Structure 1
C-alpha cells in the first residue's frame, strides 16, 4: 500500500468556509452569390463606419473621451485566493460563515431526507454484482425509525437508485473508466424509494443477516433482520417481500406476511439494549447475540423448527453492554464492550458463561463501539465516550483473572472531540476504517500511512495542517447528530451515514 504524506490531508478536508447569461444576435441572410442581403432594403454600414460611430458615442456632451476620463481597469495577474480549509476543533465559524462542501474531492455525494430520523441502519447485499465501479449505481439499506410517537415507528427498506457521479472537475483516477456522458448526469437527483413494516416502539439498533460474497441473495429465501426495540424486545423480521416489492413492478405486498415479526426474543425482560450482531454463518444456522443495559448478553440460534432463544446469559460486564462483534475467524468467539470501560472476549463453549479474556480499562469512559477486522483477525478497533479511537492487537490481551496489566493500544487517535458513535473496518483494506462522532464528523483513517520525513519540515500547506494526523485520510461533515456509518461491501470506497437529518451516501478520491 502506498504511503500518503501529511500534506495530502488537505484532500481530506472536503468542507471550506465561503462567505452568465449570453445572447445571440440575428445575422443577415446570405444570398446565392455570397453577398449579405439586406432584408429591410437599408444601407449596410461597413466595419469602419461602425467603428467610427462607436468612437463618437464614447464622447460625452463636452467632447471628452470616456477612456481619458475613466482609465481602463488593468487585469490582475495574481490567482484568486483559495478557499480556507476548515479544520474541526481548530477553526470556528463566524456568525456569517457556513460550511460548503468541496465537490472536487468527492466522486459521488448525495443527501437524502426521510420522514423520521433513522439512528440505526444496515446495508443489504444485492444481486447487482460485486466491485461495482460504474455510475449510476443502486444501494439497498434497512433502517429503523425514532418517531415522535411509539405507534408511528417502522422498519424501512430503502432503495437508493440513480446514484450519479457528482464530482465537478473529473480529476479522479477512475475518470478514464467512466462513460463520457457521465458529466450530463451531475445535476440529476438520486431516487429514494421505500417499503415499511410497522414497529412497536423506537428502534435502537437494526442489523441484517450477513450474506457472504459467495452466497448471493435468493428471492426464494428469507432475508432476516433483527431490531432492538426500546420496549426491551428484540424482533426478527423477514424483509424479503419488501425488497421484491421495490424491484418488481406490479408486485402485491401481502401485509399479513410482513406486519408481524418472524420471532421475538423476550430474554431481556423489559431491559432496553443496543448491542447486537449476527454470526457470519449459513442461512440454516443463524446465530444472533444481543446485549442489554443490565450487562446481560443472550444467544439466539436456529433449529429445524425455527429460532430458539437460550435462557442463560453471558455475564462479566458490570454495566451496560454497548456493542458486540462475532470473531471473523473463530465461529464460537465474540467480543463485547461496555460502559464499564472494558472490552471482553468470550467463547460460547465456556461453562459459566464468563469472558475468557479482556482489557479491563480500555478507555477512560464508556466504550461505545467496536469493530473486528475481518481480514487481519487479531486487530480490533474501539471508540469511546471521551472521543478516543484505539486499535488493539488481540494477541497481547490478558486472560480473565490474570494479574497482568492491560496492553497498550497499537494506535491511538484523539481527533474527535465528542463521543464516538460508530466505527467500522473497510471490507477489503485491512488498514482502513471509518468512524463517526457526536461532533458531527465522519472520518476515514489508514493505519498504514506514515509521516513523510522529506516533507515533515517543509511547513504547512494550509493553516492548521500540523495538527492533522497523517493517518487521517478524510473528514466528511454537513450532517447533524451522526449515529452510524457503514462501508458498502459491493461498491468499493462508498460510505453511507445516518443522522437526525437523513442519510448521506458518498465516495471520495481518498479511499
Structure 2
C-alpha cells in the first residue's frame, strides 16, 4: 500500500473538558442604521453614569448577568448526557492536547495492537513515530479483501496552538518538523474479518534461541470464521526502514492456523511471562483454549478446553506476575480466575460482577491485585482480587468493587490501565468517547456543587470525542500517548492532563 498523508479531522475527532460546549455556527451580524436608544432619556452625564453603561441601574444589570451565568451552566456539554442539536458539531480545544492526529485505513478496524519498537523509552520529543498491527472489517461480498495491516505512523507533530507566543513556537521548532504525518502500511491477505489481534515479541529473533538477533514480532488474529492465525511480521516491520524491499511469498503465510474453535470469538491474549509464545483464546461458546509454542517452533493446542462460562467469553488476560494464572470476562456477567495446571479445567475463582455483559477487562501491570472491567450497561469498575475467595459453590460469589463509575450511558468497549501509573485508566465507549480517569482524585460534595458539575465525577480527567470507539491502547514508550480505533479510522493523541 502506498504512503498516504494523515490529516486531522476536527469534525469527527474532538475532545471536551468539563464545562465546554459544542461549537455552533452563528449568523453574521446584521448591519443597520445606528439609533441612540437612550436619546432624551437622561438629562446629564451624572445620570448616565449612575444608571450604568447600558442605561440600567446596577442592581438590575447584575441580576440579569447572574441569570445568564446560570443559563450557561445549564448548557454545559456533558458527553453521554447532552445531545447535539441539528447542525451542531464538536471541535477540539487545541490547548488541551500536546498531539492530535486522525489516520484512515481502507476499511474500519475493530481491533489493533501497538508494537514495541527500538526507538527508546520515555520519548517526549516530536515528531513521533508509532508502529502497530491491525485487521480490517470488510463486509459482505468484499470479505475476501480483508487484510492484516502492519502500520508505521511517522511525522506525528506536536499540536500547533494558536495562543503560543513566538518564543514558545521557536523553541518547539528546534526538535520538531511540522510537516504532514505519514501513514505507511504493509498488507497481509486474510479471508475474514479480524475480531481481535494481539502482538507478542520474543526475546530473540530465531526459533533456535539465538538471542543475539533482533526480537521476533508475532501476531495472533482471531477471525470471524473462527480460525486463529499466527504470523511473523518481523520482516514487514523491518521493510519500512529499507525502501523498495520485496518480501518473498512465504513471508505472507501464517506460521500456524489454529482450528480448535467451532464458533467465532473475541478473547485473545499472549502470556507476558512465556517468552517463546503462549496464547489464550476464548469463543462465543464459552470455551477457552491454551496454545503453546514449542522449542522447535511448532504450535501445540491443548485439546481440553476450560469450561465454566454460561455464555460467550468476551475478554481474557494472563496474570502479569503469575505465569499459570489467567482471568476471563463473559457476557454471562461473571469474571473467573483460572489456573492452567488444573486437571478439572474449572475456574478457581468465580465472581458475578454485573447483571449485563462484561465486555472488557484490564489487569494492572503495576498493582497486580487490581482488575478493571467494563460492562454493557456503561458501567466500569475496579476490583481488588485479594477480596475474591476460591470457588466453593456451584453459583458465582458476589463481590463489591473498590471503585465504580456509571458516567457512560452506552456499552464500554475498551478499558486499559496506564502502563506506569496505577491510578490512571483509559475507557472507550459506544457513546463516541474515550475518557481518561484518575482514581487518586477526590472532591468533596461542597466543591462539586460549587463546580455545578454534579453529573461529572471528579476522577474524570479528559474526554476525547471519536465516533464508534472500539479499542483504546496506551503507547507505553511515549508517556501519556494513546491510540484508538473507531468507525472513521484511528486517532492518535496526547493530552496535557496525563
TM-score higher than 0.5 here? yes
Q: Is the alpha carbon distance of 1:351 and 1:282 closer, same or farther for their aligned partners in structure 2, counting shifts above 3 Å?
A: closer
State the TM-score, normalized to the length of structure 2. Answer: 0.81
Which residue of the partner structure matches residue 256 of structure 2?
263
State the TM-score, normalized to the length of structure 1. Answer: 0.79
CA RMSD of aligned residues (A): 3.0
Q: Whole-Å Cα distance in 1 between the matches of residues 404 and 131 of structure 2?
A: 33
Structure 2 spans left out of the alignment, 5+ residues: 1-14, 26-33, 37-52, 55-68, 204-210
- Report the Cα offset of residue 96 of structure 1: 2.5
Q: Whole-Å Cα distance in 2 between the matches of residues 436 and 345 of structure 1?
A: 24
Are residues 1:483 and 2:475 paired?
A: no
- The answer as to whether partners of 1:210 and 1:281 remain within 8 angstroms in 2 is no
Which residue of the partner structure matches residue 181 of structure 2?
190
Deviations 1:344-388 (A, max 9, x none): 0001111111100021x2112010000000100000000001111
Deviations 1:383-421 (A, max 9, x none): 001111011000111221248951211111001111111
- Report the Cα offset of residue 227 of structure 1: 0.1
Q: Is the alpha carbon distance of 1:345 and 1:469 closer, same or farther for their aligned partners in structure 2, counting shifts above 3 Å?
A: same
Are residues 1:278 and 2:270 paired?
A: yes
- The answer as to whether partners of 1:14 and 1:101 remain within 8 angstroms in 2 is no
Q: SS of 2:238's equivalent?
A: helix
Q: SS of 2:398's equivalent?
A: coil
Which residue of the partner structure matches residue 22 of structure 2?
16
- Report the Cα offset of residue 123 of structure 1: 0.1
Are residues 1:422 and 2:414 paired?
A: yes
Q: Whole-Å Cα distance in 2 between the matches of residues 371 and 163 of structure 1?
A: 28
Are residues 1:349 and 2:341 paired?
A: yes
Q: SS of 1:324's equivalent?
A: strand
Which residue of the partner structure matches residue 41 of structure 2?
none
- The answer as to whether partners of 2:228 and 2:257 remain within 8 angstroms in 1 is yes
Which residue of the partner structure matches residue 51 of structure 1?
none
Q: Whole-Å Cα distance in 1 between the matches of residues 221 and 256 of structure 2?
A: 11
Q: Whole-Å Cα distance in 1 between the matches of residues 332 and 126 of structure 2?
A: 45
Are residues 1:93 and 2:84 paired?
A: yes
- Report the Cα offset of residue 266 of structure 1: 1.2
Which residue of the partner structure matches residue 29 of structure 2?
none
Q: SS of 1:151's equivalent?
A: helix
**Number of equivalences:** 434
Q: Is the alpha carbon distance of 1:404 and 1:192 closer, same or farther for their aligned partners in structure 2, counting shifts above 3 Å?
A: closer
Q: Whole-Å Cα distance in 2 between the matches of residues 211 and 171 of structure 1?
A: 44
Runs of 4+ aligned residues of structure 1 deviating over 6 Å after TM superposition are 81-84, 175-178
- Report the Cα offset of residue 211 of structure 1: 6.3
- Report the Cα offset of residue 245 of structure 1: 1.2
Deviations 1:31-59 (A, max 9, x none): xxxxxxxxxxxxxxxxxxxxxxxxxxxxx
Which residue of the partner structure matches residue 244 of structure 1?
238
Q: Whole-Å Cα distance in 2 between the matches of residues 328 and 278 of structure 1?
A: 11
Q: Is the alpha carbon distance of 1:15 and 1:280 closer, same or farther for their aligned partners in structure 2, counting shifts above 3 Å?
A: farther
- The answer as to whether partners of 2:202 and 2:277 remain within 8 angstroms in 1 is no
Which residue of the partner structure matches residue 46 of structure 1?
none
Q: Is the alpha carbon distance of 1:300 and 1:136 closer, same or farther for their aligned partners in structure 2, counting shifts above 3 Å?
A: same
Q: Who wins on radius of gyration, i.e. which is larger?
A: 1
Q: SS of 1:467's equivalent?
A: coil
Q: Is the alpha carbon distance of 1:264 and 1:177 closer, same or farther for their aligned partners in structure 2, counting shifts above 3 Å?
A: farther
Aligned 1:58-207 pairs, distance under 5 A: 85-148=76-139, 149-169=142-162, 179-181=171-173, 188-207=179-198
- The answer as to whether partners of 1:15 and 1:100 remain within 8 angstroms in 2 is no
Q: Whole-Å Cα distance in 2 between the matches of residues 388 and 168 of structure 1?
A: 35
Structure 1 spans left out of the alignment, 5+ residues: 1-8, 20-68
Deviations 1:235-281 (A, max 9, x none): 10000111111122232222x1222100111111x310100000003
